[in-house]
Amino acid sequence: MAIDRNGTPLVEMRDISIAFGGVKAVDHVTVDLFPGEVVGLLGHNGAGKSTLIKCLSGAYQQDSGDIYINGDKVSISNPRDARRHNIETIYQTLALADNLDAASNLFLGREIVGPTGLLDDNKMEAETRKVMHRLNPNFKNFTSPVSSYSGGQRQSVAIARAVHFNARILIMDEPTAALGPHETQMVADLIQELKRQGLGIFLIDHDVHQVKKLCDRANVMKNGQLVGTANVEDVSADDLLGMIIAGKCPPGAIPGPGAIHE
Amino acid sequence: MTDADKPARPAQKKNLFAQLEIDTRLLGMIGAFVILCLGFHFITDGRFLTSRNIFNLTIQTVSVAIMATGMVFVIVTRNIDLSVGSLLATCSAVMAMTQTFITPEVFGLGLNHPATAPIAIVVGIATGVLIGAFQGYIVGYLGVPAFIVTLGGLLVWRNVAWYLTNGQTIGPLDRNFMQFGGINGTLGETWSWVIGLIAVLFAFYSFWRNRRSKISHDFPVKPIWAEIVMAAITAVAIMGFVAVLNNYDVPRRRLQQMFEARGEVMPDGFTQGYGLPISVLLLIAVAVVMTIVARRTRLGRYIFATGGNPDAAALSGINTRLLTVKIFAIMGGLCGLAALVASARLSFHSNDIGTLDELRVIAAAVIGGTALAGGVGTIYGAILGALIMQSLQSGMAMVGVDAPFQNIVVGAVLVIAVLIDTIYRKRTGAK
Ligand SMILES: Nc1ncnc2c1ncn2[C@@H]1O[C@H](COP(=O)(O)OP(=O)(O)OP(=O)(O)O)[C@@H](O)[C@H]1O
Ligand SMILES: [Mg+2]
């Protein structure tokens, strides 16, 4: 499916920088995302991928640079702001409250309340059963706390939470890291379906083959800088690996500030 | 929607308690409490489980139990409040001064005016809320650990109370105010039965509502016999409690005075039980409200989520700083309520009111299953914890155990209770 990149991008993160103490975790990075597009973010451990997307999800605030949504400059200073712009995030750490059950986590911060203003737990549980059933039919463990779930089950809850609330922009930070092959395939199918619905998705993943399969474009980061951006059709898996490991930008890609000049 | 889309909740339940959906932890605590009471009952040759002693036990527990419900929220969010005893003293001082000086003299209402008690109570609770919110602000927004802020508060508020009153005892307090002290304000037999009946009906209604709501979502429900057993147990417990309190008779001389005050003659053979103390009613109201807050409101959900994983809570858009302020404000307000009960029971404000209550309150919450690691705790557990502590103390006093040894036992019980809880949680795999 061709993606129209002539209009305004859904998201544009322009010249983002953020440092922790002396560490430049993200160093003048510019990325964009169009509706119906899946954009991969690749890079070695500590390259700054999670930090970059956390600026978009409201977990961090960038030191400099701007974020545009549908061409409008927005200020995202906390996760509530991000949710207001229909940005949903699956964090690498999953961000689940271990002592609560699946439904409480899924609806955390957006609980369903009855006419009296009290929580309607039964309704939330019923909805959770429906969502989880689509995502992971083997999931049965609805009333026990998340701490008793397997890694993959926890990840399923985090994914369900991100897709349940009509996201327009979805951030997935290594969403399949703990999943088995069958569940990974279900997430891949889910990504295709959401893409058809016109969502824009940032996907962080270490598996270049997965990125080539699922993404339309890929950004590679190294030491906080952008090495380059490429259409996945224009580069091979080895090209991507070269970008990740050596910071070499192949001919098919648009080089960024972090590319090595030979 | 087809049936295949509607995943069924697995219905295989194993043992009896699971079928009744009773928390086994609660059952363990009740069991320990019953054994404790029976033990004292036999050692004291049947003096422990009398109406009179049960009545006294309940009114002695109220003040600490009220604060323990707030301490649950504080500890669940991985904080601590060491200042509650001192805060109680400050609230008590403010209330005492309001009713003995400000309303009678500054407002010119005189003594025992009907408006005095409500004004004093509102002022006292507001004081607690404000001080609590202030401490919560320092913890939540300025990032000073709660342990330090409230350790400071422990010293500050005890001595603020001292300065307010110049270290003097203030009393006697307003007549209506003292109704909240326990034996000075009870409902009498008839009203106690009425309240008991209302409580039973309310319990039945909430059982029924919960069942209906589950059915409407196609969740499996308890077998009907289990519902009936639970309802029966609840009804017997509530009515039995009322019966015990009604069975404690007001002394003849006091009744005679009451009749004389009304200019009547007491009929021969007239007796009247005390019934439910207003302070106990207050505790029950606090328990119900706090339980609803904990389980059925957003605030409660956020408190537990933040306790379980503060980062996850923040990433879900919860304002954890403001939440901290709210929790400490609630704790402060409850200290104000506890001050009402404690000073009304004494019938005066004294300097040392609430001394060491912080330790009793924390111990009650912890014995009641609140985990210091955060995220876990129940309101009923904390109240039961307070009751267990008070029974232990009263029972030992009744048996004639030396005061220092009483404290040694209470300290040891605290540690052992938490040890047993830790082992239990490991066994059951719960957090
Ligand atoms: N809160 C923080 N405080 C201090 N340093 C941080 C913080 N968050 C990230 N960093 C640093 O920023 C750099 C980038 O981290 P980041 O988590 O973005 O990497 P990543 O590309 O997501 O790596 P991975 O593939 O391992 O998830 C690292 O050097 C990390 O130590
Ligand atoms: Mg990361």
Q: What gap in Å lies between CA B300 and CA B307, rounded to an integer?
A: 11
Which residues in chain A are closer than 8 Å to B9, comparing Cβ atoms?
A: 129, 142-143
Kindly state if the Cβ of A26 falls inside 6 Å of ligand 1: no
Kindly state if the Cβ of A219 falls inside 6 Å of ligand 1: no
Kindly state if the Cβ of A142 falls inside 6 Å of ligand 1: no
Task: Give residue A229 CA to ligand 2 midpoint distance, Å.
Answer: 19
Residue A189 to chain B, least CA–CA distance (Å): 18
A39 is written with which tokens?
A: 């954009």
For residue B389, give the nearest of B356, B423, B364 by alpha carbon: B364
Same domain, B77 and B217: no
The pLDDT score that the predictor gives to residue B17 is: 67
Most confidently predicted of A32-41, A136-145, A248-257, B263-272: A32-41
Q: What gap in Å lies between CA B277 and CA B179, rounded to an integer?
A: 9
Interval B65-105: pLDDT, tens: 999 999 999 999 999 999 999 999 999 999 999 998 888 77
Q: Where are the alpha helices (DSSP H) in B297-356?
A: 298-308, 310-315, 320-346
Please list all protein residues whose beta carbon sits less than 5 angstroms from ligand 2, which is an ion. A 50, 92
B381 is written with which tokens?
A: 């557990």
Q: How far apart, in Å, are the Cα atoms of A17 and each of A62, A248, B56?
A: 6, 22, 66
For residue B317, give the nearest of A53, A247, A76, A132 by alpha carbon: A76
Same domain, B225 and B352: no
User: A59 touching B, CB under 8 A?
Assistant: yes
The pLDDT score that the predictor gives to residue B3 is: 39
**In this structure, is residue B243 part of a structural domain?**
yes
**Would you call A142 exposed, middle or buried from its count of C-beta atoms within 10 A (0-12, 13-18, 19+)?**
middle
Which amino acid appears at position B48 of this protein?
A: F
A47 HSE (CA, 13 A, CB side)? 24
B255 is written with which tokens?
A: 């009744």
Same domain, B220 and B340: no
The pLDDT score that the predictor gives to residue B15 is: 66
The pLDDT score that the predictor gives to residue B4 is: 40
**In this structure, is residue B17 part of a structural domain?**
no
Task: Give residue A212 CA to ligand 1 midpoint distance, Å.
Answer: 24
Which residues in chain A are closer than 8 Å to B323, comparing Cβ atoms?
A: none
**In this structure, is residue B249 part of a structural domain?**
yes
Interval B122-160: pLDDT, tens: 999 999 999 999 999 999 999 999 999 999 999 999 999
Task: Give residue A202 CA to ligand 2 midpoint distance, Å.
Answer: 13
**In this structure, is residue B208 part of a structural domain?**
yes
The answer to whether the beta carbons of residues A253 and A40 sit under 8 Å apart is no
Return mean pLDDT, chain A.
91
**In this structure, is residue B238 part of a structural domain?**
yes
**Would you call B353 exposed, middle or buried from its count of C-beta atoms within 10 A (0-12, 13-18, 19+)?**
buried
Which amino acid appears at position B82 of this protein?
A: L
User: A108 touching B, CB under 8 A?
Assistant: yes
Q: What is the total count of domains within chain B?
A: 2
**In this structure, is residue B339 part of a structural domain?**
yes
Same domain, B367 and B386: yes
Per-residue pLDDT, averaged over A51-72, amounts to 95
High-pLDDT (> 90) share of chain B, %: 52
Which of B301, B302, B323, B425 should one mutate to test binding to chain A, selecting the residue with the greatest count of A CBs within 10 A? B301
The answer to whether the beta carbons of residues B379 and B290 sit under 8 Å apart is yes
Query: Rounded to the nearest 5°, which phi and psi values hold at B157?
Result: -75, -30
Choose one of B273, B289, B324: the last residue of a domain: B273
Minimal-distance CA residue to ligand 1 atom 4: A20
Ligand with an atom nearest the CA of residue A90: 2
The answer to whether the beta carbons of residues A67 and A14 sit under 8 Å apart is yes
**CB neighbourhood size of B179 (10 A):** 16
Beta carbons within 8 Å of B309's beta carbon, 6+ residues apart = A95, A96, A97, A98, A99, B375
Core vs surface per residue A110-132: b (16+ CB within 10 A) or e: ebeeeeeebbbbbbbbbbbbebb
Same domain, B195 and B151: no
Domain residue limits at B197: 189-273
For A31-40, A144-153, B269-278, B342-351, which range has the lowest pLDDT when averaged over its residues?
B269-278
Same domain, B378 and B407: yes
Cα maximum dimension of chain A: 68
Q: What gap in Å lies between CA A87 and CA A105, rounded to an integer?
A: 17
The pLDDT score that the predictor gives to residue B430 is: 55
Would you say residue B212 has pLDDT above 70?
A: yes
Same domain, B160 and B198: no
Q: What gap in Å lies between CA B184 and CA B195, rounded to an integer?
A: 19
Query: Rounded to the nearest 5°, which phi and psi values hold at A222?
Result: -145, 130
The pLDDT score that the predictor gives to residue B2 is: 38
For residue B41, give the nearest of B29, B28, B30, B51 by alpha carbon: B51
Choose one of B273, B296, B328: the last residue of a domain: B273
The answer to whether B219 contacts A95, with C-beta atoms less than 8 Å apart, is: no
Interval B17-67: pLDDT, tens: 666 667 777 888 889 899 999 999 999 888 888 888 898 899 999 999 999
Same domain, B169 and B52: yes
Minimal-distance CA residue to ligand 1 atom 6: A20
Q: Which domains does chain A have, with CATH numbers?
A: 1-86+168-262 (3.40.50.300), 101-165 (no CATH)
Task: Give residue A50 CA to ligand 1 midpoint distance, Å.
Answer: 7
Same domain, B267 and B291: no
The answer to whether A108 contacts B312, with C-beta atoms less than 8 Å apart, is: yes
**What's the start-to-end Cα distance of chain B, in Å?**
37
Same domain, B148 and B214: no
- When pLDDT is cut at 50, 70 and 90, the band that residue B190 belongs to is confident
The pLDDT score that the predictor gives to residue B7 is: 43
- When pLDDT is cut at 50, 70 and 90, the band that residue B1 belongs to is very low
A175 is written with which tokens?
A: 């969403």
pLDDT top residue among A45 and B217: A45
Beta-bridged to residue A254, according to DSSP, are: A229
Would you say residue A227 has pLDDT above 60?
A: yes
Beta carbons within 8 Å of B124's beta carbon, 6+ residues apart = B91, B92, B94, B95, B98, B336, B339, B340
- When pLDDT is cut at 50, 70 and 90, the band that residue A137 belongs to is confident
Would you say residue B280 has pLDDT above 60?
A: yes
Same domain, B197 and B341: no
- When pLDDT is cut at 50, 70 and 90, the band that residue A245 belongs to is very high
The pLDDT score that the predictor gives to residue B14 is: 54
Same domain, B327 and B288: yes
Return mean pLDDT, chain B.
88
Query: Rounded to the nearest 5°, which phi and psi values hold at A11?
Result: -130, 135
B274 is written with which tokens?
A: 């005390």
Choose one of B235, B256, B273: the last residue of a domain: B273
